[in-house]
Every structure is written in C-alpha cells, then in structure tokens.
Amino acid sequence: MRVAIISDIHGNLVALQSILPEIKKADRIVCLGDVAAVGPQPHETMAFLRGTKWPCVMGNADEALTKTEPETYERIPQGEKGKMMSLDKWTRSEIGATDCRFLSRLKRTIEIKSGNHSLLCYHGSPRSNTEQILPTTPEEELGRIFAGKDAQVYAGGHTHAQMVRKFGASLIINPGSVGLPFIKAADGRVMNPVWAEYAVLASSGDDLKVELRHQRYSKHDLKEVVLESGMPDPEWWLKDWI
C-alpha cells in the first residue's frame, strides 16, 4: 500500500496541481493541514480539497481562520507585520461560510491503516497543532509528545522542513510544504523555492519505505496567479521565490 502525504499548501493551488499526477498514483492521500492561509488561492484550494474528500487534519493556520479575531503576527518583524495582517484580512474576505465550515470540521489527528502498519497524522504534534517536532527534538521530549500512542508511523507538518527520523521502533515523517517551502540562502535570508514538497509511504508486509520528494513547477504560472488574485502586496509576497 502506498500513502501520499502532503502538508502546508497555504493557498497555493498551483503548487498542489503540479504534484497531482504523482500523488494520485498512491492508494491513499492524506493532508496534514494549513491548507489556505497566506497564499493567493485560499477559496480555490479549499474548494478543490472538498471535492477530493482526502482526509485532512486541522493546522494552526486553519484553526486561526475559524476564529473571529485575526492573527496578530507577534513574531513577525515590524516591517512585515502590517503586510501579514492585510493578507490575513484579505484571506478572510475570500473564504465563505462553506470554507469556514470545512475548516472547523477538520480533526486534530487522523489514524490511517497502511498494510500491517498504523499511521498517526497531525499538524504540529498529536497534542498541539503549534508544536514543532524537529530533527533535534530530544528523545525524552518525543516520549512525552507521543505518550500513550503506539503507531508505527507518525506524520506531521508545520515546520515546512522535510524530515524522517526514528523514534524507538517507529518512524516520524514530515513531508515538508506543498505551497510554501523554506530554504536558507547563503546570505541567511529565508527563501521560497518554486517546488512542491511531499512524501510517499509504501508498506509491504512488515516492510516500510519512505520517500521525501519535491517537484519543480513554473514560477511564471505562480506569479500570474498571484498578480491576478487581488491579494494585497503581491510583489512583496513574490519577492523571496527562487
């Protein structure tokens, strides 16, 4: 059995569509949340996902959009805080009641059977969609995070960084970000490569295989969608894409 695992689309339907031919080869597809916020196609992305009926967990950005009060972006540098707040306001104006119901009904965790193995899906961690699980997270902390859980595979997103690491007899997977991947440039700036990240989990009997993949797509296509979307400060949004 093959399971395609995607996460953090962030309203970038151009990126998601670029990997559809590959992920549709899997027996199942699961989404780990943060589907709409801060991208040029929030409504279009949710409309597409509703049509697929793929299981999807609630990310922290999904949950924020279900609340009346907008994000305050306290950790964002002051020079960009206003732009992020304008983008949040625009996103809320783009999504309708059907979109909000879709987000509010997302579950925080989903368990999927993959052959002889169980796959526990979440956004940040099973206990919080804002918690980060990193390659450097101590084993003792992982023990607390996964206390009472017994899945063979744990899958979460949130960090926008691909990862596979062992935890006891289990594996922890982060497929990276479909719509908003991050890399650090040589000068220290955080850049967005024009590729969509995802993972494929293959199980056969007692064997497991994980592939971390990324697929390049057209920067021209992304720019065209952004400029036509009506989102505020489109050139600012596009400036770090490489």
Count Cβ neighbours within 10 Å for each residue of 214-233 and write b for 16 or more, e otherwise.
Answer: bbebeeeebbebbeebebbe
Name the pairing type of β-strands 117-121 and 153-155.
Answer: parallel
**Residue 124 has what pLDDT?**
98
**Below-50 pLDDT ranges, the chain:** none
Distance CA 89, CA 230 (A): 12
**Residue 34 has what pLDDT?**
98
Contact 226, 40 (CB under 8 A): yes
Distance CA 140, CA 138 (A): 5
Domain extent listing, the chain: 2-108+179-238
Q: Nearest 5 degrees, angle CA 150-CA 152-CA 157? A: 95
**Residue 80 has what pLDDT?**
85
**Residue 117 has what pLDDT?**
87
Pick among 3.60.21.10, 2.30.40.10, 3.40.190.10, 3.40.50.300: CATH of 2-108+179-238? 3.60.21.10
The pTM for the full model equals 0.95
Among residues 143, 208, 125, 212, which one has the least CA distance to residue 171?
208
**Residue 74 has what pLDDT?**
67
**Residue 123 has what pLDDT?**
98
**Residue 185 has what pLDDT?**
82
Radius of gyration of the chain (CA): 17
